[in-house]
A and B are shown apart, each in its own frame.
Chain A
Amino acid sequence: NAGVMQNPRHLVRRRGQEARLRCSPMKGHSHVYWYRQLPEEGLKFMVYLQKENIIDESGMPKERFSAEFPKEGPSILRIQQVVRGDSAAYFCASSPGTGSYNEQFFGPGTRLTVL
């Protein structure tokens, strides 16, 4: 059973370009979470999605960032007009969404570097 998959693993963008980060949850998981980890810091929650729905986007910056989890295909975190401060590791996690406790399984992350 494949784990959470993220691609690309490394992404380099110049200031002003767009970054698209993809996340395929574990098989059978319908809940996806995105977190950002700045150098030497812990993970910060960004957004929580279920298929075709954004459940909680309280951690998303108000501008330039968007996320989706379509009925078919991976979840996408999109960053428009990237700036140097967007350089970070972006982790996706998935959970089954049922039961009394939902462990979040993390992917390997996408490391975004903005030049």
Chain B
Amino acid sequence: GIQVEQSPPDLILQEGANSTLRCNFSDSVNNLQWFHQNPWGQLINLFYIPSGTKQNGRLSATTVATERYSLLYISSSQTTDSGVYFCAAPGGDNYGQNFVFGPGTRLSVLP
């Protein structure tokens, strides 16, 4: 099945700094999602982005499906951005029916 990797595993930022999180996947995908998991465990949808670029406030994401990677940009980071960021791509025995998650990037934003 598909392999999903994320880098860096951990990231510590000062409030106001910018960051880029990367997601690599081993096979072509027809959809991809980015999530933020808050300290209470809730997975919050950030982007559904099989290809192209999307922006939502201080966050933006780009997926280059042909090169098998996606990037999540966080600008002017805030302490509330802290948490774990996951990307997920379709995989498994029945292509496209469930998600394979990467190991996550743990982001800590310091005041």
A and B associate: no
